[in-house]
Amino acid sequence: MGRDAGRLSLILLFTPFALWIGLLIVLPQLGIGYVSLREKVGVNQYEFGFGNYADFFGEPIYRNTLLRTAWMSILVTILALIIGFPIAYYIAKLARARIRAALFLMCLIPLWVSDLVRAYGWIVLLRETGVVSTVLVGAGLITEPVEMLYNDVTVVIGLVYTVILFMIVPLVSTLQGMDDALLEAGYNLGGSRFTVFRRIVVPYAMPGIVAGCIITFMLAAGSYLTPILLGGKNSSWFTEQIYNQFITRYNWEAGATFGVLLLVFTSLVVWVGLRLTGQSLVTTVARKD
């Protein structure tokens, strides 16, 4: 009886999860994968083959867009790590307990506003008639208004701003688990600030660093709104290509191919990152102590 009840509750709990994964993730991916292997040879005539992939690799602009997206996403990840680590360290280790919760909450507040509104915020600040430009002209630092939107730097800034939270949160939770005595032992045994940071803090925070980097990289590479709104027509973001194939050109086969390639490519980058840092997905998700 008790075991049956246990099994029933397991099934009840597991069903929504299985439905969600199955219907919203696995099935569409399979569909995308299937469509990507379908070559259009005539009206409503299809053949099975890798022609769509061959098209992708044959066209430099597609390849380059994917590589560009990957590089910029890696750049965004590195910047988010460099900026996010001190913030996370301050929240987790230096701030007093009472302030800590408030600071953490302040980090989360921007999440309450949609991506669109936040991107629009940047537009308000950075466009030719925007706040920054106007103030600079008013202060006499520049003679005429400048357009600060629609270039790569703006896209990177906007993306770092959007994803940095997802870097800070895992870092804070790993660093909070670190006993201050470890740092003191590090100094006591003769370590300088740099040694303690490099040999104790970073290795200890490594699971959090890797988790944060995976999340921010995936979010950056898969983002659509920020690069389009801040980068304009020239942003050449890979998701934009996918959108164009599906919606503008109504070429589902090419769009599906790009979708699969984005997934494979970003997964590959994450895998290489894990190998380089000597971490595995398991240690990143769950600590074994």
Tokens matching residue 132: 């920054």
Residue 145: CB minimum distance to another protein, A: 52
At 245 the three-state DSSP class reads: helix
CA distance 166 to 168: 6
* Cβ at position 148, least distance to another protein in Å: 43
**Among positive and negative, which fits the CA dihedral 107, 111, 112, 118?**
positive
Which of 121, 191, 222, 273 contacts another protein by CB under 8 A? 191
Say if residues 231 and 152 touch (Cβ distance below 8 Å): yes
Residue of the chain from 184, 198, 267, 275 that contacts another protein (CB under 8 A) = 184
Q: Helix %, strand %, coil % for the chain, to 5?
A: 80, 5, 15
- Measured from the CB atom, the residue of 139 and 189 that comes closer to another protein is 189
Q: Which of 13, 94, 142, 185 touches another protein (CB under 8 A)?
A: 185
Length in residues, the chain: 289
Contact region with another protein (CB under 8 A), list: 10-18, 130-138, 145-153, 184-192:
184-192
Q: Can you tell me the distance from the alpha carbon of 231 to that of 235, in angstroms, rounded to the nearest whole number?
A: 5
Member of 15, 134, 195, 267 binding another protein (CB under 8 A): 195
Among residues 182, 247, 264, 272, the one that binds another protein under rule CB under 8 A: 182
Contact status, residue 29 vs residue 35, Cβ threshold 8 Å: no
Residue at 236: amino acid letter: S
In angstroms, give the least distance from the CB of 181 to another protein: 4
User: What six digits make up the tokens of 115?
Assistant: 């991506």
E strand map for the chain:
38-42, 45-48
Cβ 59 vs Cβ 257: under 8 Å: no
Query: Residue 59 has which token pair?
Result: 């066209």
Find, among 203, 220, 197, 232, the residue nearest to 269 by Cα: 220
- Three-class secondary structure of residue 142 per DSSP: coil
Type of residue found at 61:
I
Is 274 a binder of another protein (CB under 8 A)?
A: no
Nearer to another protein by C-beta: 143 or 188?
188
d(CA 128, CA 150) in angstroms, rounded, equals 11
**What does the per-residue mask of binding to another protein show for 152-181, with x meaning CB under 8 A?**
---------------------------x-x
129 binding another protein? (CB under 8 A): no
Given 187, 198, 280, 281, the residue binding another protein (CB under 8 A): 187
Asked if 47 interacts with another protein (CB under 8 A), we say no
Q: Measured from the CB atom, is 15 or 192 closer to another protein?
A: 192
Distance between CA atoms of residues 111 and 207, nearest Å: 24
How far apart are CB 272 and another protein at their closest, in Å?
Answer: 22
| Span of 89-97, 140-148, 188-196, 240-248 interacting with another protein by CB under 8 A | 188-196
Among 44, 45, 129, 188, binds another protein (CB under 8 A): 188
Q: Enumerate residues 198-217 that contact another protein by CB under 8 A.
A: 199-200, 203-204, 206
**Would you tell me which residues interact with another protein (CB under 8 A)?**
179, 181-182, 184-192, 195, 199-200, 203-204, 206, 289
